[in-house]
Structure 1
Amino acid sequence: MSGTLEPLTGIVTTDLAAVTRGRFVATTDVEGTAATGVGWIQSNLSLTAFGRLSTPNIWKSSGDLRLIPDFGARFLTHATGGDIPFDMVIGDLVEIDGSPWAACPRHALRQAAAALEAEAGLRLRVSFEQEFYLLRAEEEHDHPLAFSALRRSGTFAPQLVAGLREAGLRPETILAELGPGQLEISIAPSAPVAAADQAVAVREIVRELAHNLGQRASFAPKPYAGHSGSGVHIHFSLTDCEGHARTYDTDGPARLSPEAAHFCAGVLRHLPALTAFTASSPASYERLKPYSWSASYTWLADQDREATLRVCPVLAMSKRAPADQLNIEFRAADATANPYLALATLIRAGLEGLRNDYKLPPLASTNPEELSETERQYHGLERLPASLSQALTHLEADAAARKWFPRPLLDTFLAVKRTEAEIGESLDEDGLRETYRTLY
């Protein structure tokens, strides 16, 4: 390529369709945007996964916002193989007077974390574990979790780890998952907003690296019939404001402290509603089915990967104290969910449990599908919604959940997701999988 290339930096936000959108400026000029950011408009939040505005679009055509870069959330790496570096700064959406915009998803997460600290004196440590496919001919099969399967991805995995590290992330493991060409990457835990920022960065770095290597990465929740779905597993633990662990109690149910038990009970109580935020597309519900190693019931269990809330193991051979190890994995999420809202709803639901002293139901050690209806009722086991439309109906019927976010954000979310649900329901199963495999 002849001529001089001008490196560009993207200032971005992630919308309700979980698409990261933004504007680019010359890298040499990006510091000059610190105070006033770049222009944005309210209606951008009404864009659906299909590239069209929702019906209705409550914002219509009026109004202006600013997208202010947060240079503490800048992700820069030269390892994606492009002609210019990958350079992305995540920003906050504000009114033109500089005040927070009520419908900014990142601000919604920041508020949820602040409410948890103010009301309960607790903070969350969070790690996003994300699965995706490197798309290739389906006749090429590898053994799940095999050493050779990861090696067959060529330079992709080592370049990805190098790129994430250079961008300031701390990748813990990368492995070949159950599906052909499916990989999973986990990142070390952080505070909520930082963890969600990193989840966005991982997705965009993966996509760019795959493209530059002549491949394509898909984070779709169920890209192929008969193969494993791809989830986003949200691991979390509680600490007090001084950083001391508050999740573990030897004598608690599943080794959970009273605070963690109340928090999880709140999540379970509101799961049918919050699923709309964490499994946020019509394609998501192809994955959330029994016996699919994902989640399908309002079920907390000790070390069971069919449970929606899985209490992870504590390792006796570790030098870390059990209290510093224990974390809980939320398994009913995928990459069609806005990570800020997915995490914000978990915090809000958990705070409801703490605020109202919710109790965990008797824990079930058997898959809910193998219990009678009477036994499921005893254990508080309710089937998760079977479609996005059902999840949205649960959300609208949950009085507490409707108050978690300002009306402009909630109304826009409902409009976007109702529109996506309607389009998704017009497709057959093969068409739905193919569409989302391409979109995500």
Structure 2
Amino acid sequence: MHEDHDTTTLGALLTNDLIGITRGRFFPLPARARAMQKGCGWVPANLGLTPFDDIAADNPWGCTGDLRLSPDPDTEFYTRRLGEGGFTGMLCDITTLTGAPWYGCGRSFLKAALEELKTEFGLILQATFEMEFQITGASWDAAPAFSMQAMRRADGFCRTLTDALTDIGNAPEIVLPEYGADQFEMAFPPRPALEAADKAVLTREVIREAARLQGYRATFTPKLTPESVGNGLHIHFSFLDRDTLQPVTHDPAAPGGVSKACGHFVAGIVKQMHALMVFCAPTAVSYMRLLPHHWSSAYASFGALNREAALRICPMPPGADPAKAFNIEFRPTDSTSSPYWALGVLVRAGLEGLRQQRPTPPLLHGDPEALTDAERLGMGITRLPASLQEALDAFIGNKTVTEWFDPVLVDGIRTAKICEIHKTESWNPAELCRQYARIY
């Protein structure tokens, strides 16, 4: 632990679960230093919690089993400029009592997938997470979307937030007032994929704390109200060659400029996308955002500069080196997801595409709703699940995807989702939004 950490600060050992909630254990001095070195106990059944802290009676873990939160010293953080004393801690892998990775650890799942990508195909994944969120409880005057007025009224909050994000090594590239009421978007520089996921987990907590200290509340819920715009968590990725560390995502001679390896990877994601939604859009409210004509990607598709495409080739600034600037954006994800699990399943699906050498999908131009059924069928464009139940069915029914996981975890996901579906099925849209906004 850094010597300059305020002695009154609790130390946090943190993990991020299947539904994007950061949970952990918290230690005051003098226990803090030992905990940060040795880790602490954890419980398997924690993974079966719904967003509302319900747990299915038939979950596969029950009251038995013990695990460890094993801190990674490379993830140590200290937000020295965020409130009195800030807060400090480390992100953890969940391990068995013998120190082996636990099958229910999203961070370990992502690490293993990235290692296979590097070992089998010589590819290093670079990534970043683009976040949208809304502020509630502020007394700001109304202001036009994207305007200077909207930015200046939030100046105190944004300065506090930027300072705190700089403290954790994730200074944003851009902060902007978005289209929605009191909505903001933040984008960050690309970095190695595991580090990008680590930073995304911490960044959400820093945003929440910065808002709290201003007397506001930050919410990442996919839908604040039925009428509001959605909040997404867009995942950008590109590839480096393992041996040369040169970018290998772009090929100027290929359709869309997509390299052969990148095309295989994207094709694997498109093929498995329906089953991935249980990780990328893992809550009942997620499907109020994933609607046609909402720029949130209601169809499994690949496009260039097209915000209705689930995967899109991003624009490059004038004068940029295309080899370095070229990247792909995955748009259906929201912040009820775990950055580890969401990115991890994208890598797993991409690996399937690479192994099968699937051809680059055809590029979607325009809104998929404007195409006929036959046109969509010919391009392999399919409607994504429209509910959590449909997403769960797609996952359970996909043998390729379920085989990425221990059968006990598959059963744990099934029981947790059914529990959440039963709890929320009687809520009208307004109540659904209100309840998830309370959590996220």
TM range, smaller chain: over 0.9
CA displacement, residues 120-167 of structure 1 (integer Å, 9 cap, x when unaligned): 111110000110000147995321111211211131111111111112
Distance 2:254 2:57 in 1: 47
Distance 1:155 1:137 in 2: 12
Does the alignment pair 1:185 with 2:196?
no
66-75 or 355-364: bigger deviation: 355-364
> Match for 1:382: what amino acid?
T
Q: Quote the residue 2:369 is aligned against.
A: 369
8 Å CA contact retained: 1:262, 1:358: yes
368-377 or 423-432: bigger deviation: 423-432
Distance 1:415 1:138 in 2: 42
1:282 to 257, 281, 284: 284
For 2:354, what is the secondary structure of its paired residue? helix
8 Å CA contact retained: 2:299, 2:368: yes
For 1:21, what is the secondary structure of its paired residue? strand
Q: Quote the residue 1:69 is aligned against.
A: 71
> Match for 1:108: what amino acid?
F
CA displacement, residues 200-251 of structure 1 (integer Å, 9 cap, x when unaligned): 1111001111111110000000112222100000000011113211110112
Q: Quote the residue 1:116 is aligned against.
A: 117
**Alignment identity in percent?**
38
- Residue 427 (structure 1) shift: 1.0
1:204-283 equivalent positions in 2, closer than 5 A: 204-242=205-243, 243-283=245-285
TM-score (norm 2): 0.95
Q: Quote the residue 2:199 is aligned against.
A: 198
1:9-24 equivalent positions in 2, closer than 5 A: 9-24=11-26
CA spacing shift, 1:410–1:123, aligned 2, 3 Å? farther
Q: Quote the residue 1:36 is aligned against.
A: 38
Q: Quote the residue 2:88 is aligned against.
A: 87
CA displacement, residues 1-27 of structure 1 (integer Å, 9 cap, x when unaligned): xxx973211111111221111111125
Q: Quote the residue 1:359 is aligned against.
A: 359
Distance 2:275 2:204 in 1: 26
Q: Quote the residue 1:439 is aligned against.
A: 439
CA displacement, residues 66-107 of structure 1 (integer Å, 9 cap, x when unaligned): 1111121122112222x3312131111111121211211111
1:327-366 equivalent positions in 2, closer than 5 A: 327-366=327-366
Q: Quote the residue 2:388 is aligned against.
A: 388
Aligned residues: 434
CA spacing shift, 1:137–1:198, aligned 2, 3 Å? closer
> Match for 1:401: what amino acid?
V
> Match for 1:402: what amino acid?
T
- Residue 55 (structure 1) shift: 4.0
- Residue 301 (structure 1) shift: 0.6
- Residue 352 (structure 1) shift: 0.5
> Match for 2:361: what amino acid?
P
For 1:156, what is the secondary structure of its paired residue? helix
Distance 1:79 1:195 in 2: 22
For 2:352, what is the secondary structure of its paired residue? helix
For 1:171, what is the secondary structure of its paired residue? coil
> Match for 1:229: what amino acid?
G
Does the alignment pair 1:129 with 2:130?
yes
> Match for 1:374: what amino acid?
A
TM-score (norm 1): 0.95
> Match for 1:166: what amino acid?
D
Distance 1:28 1:207 in 2: 27
- Residue 64 (structure 1) shift: 1.2
Q: Quote the residue 2:315 is aligned against.
A: 313
For 1:72, what is the secondary structure of its paired residue? helix
Q: Which runs of 4+ in 1 moved over 6 A?
A: none
Distance 2:146 2:87 in 1: 29
Distance 1:247 1:98 in 2: 36
8 Å CA contact retained: 2:263, 2:361: no
Question: Which residues of structure 2 form unaligned runs of 5+?
Answer: 1-5
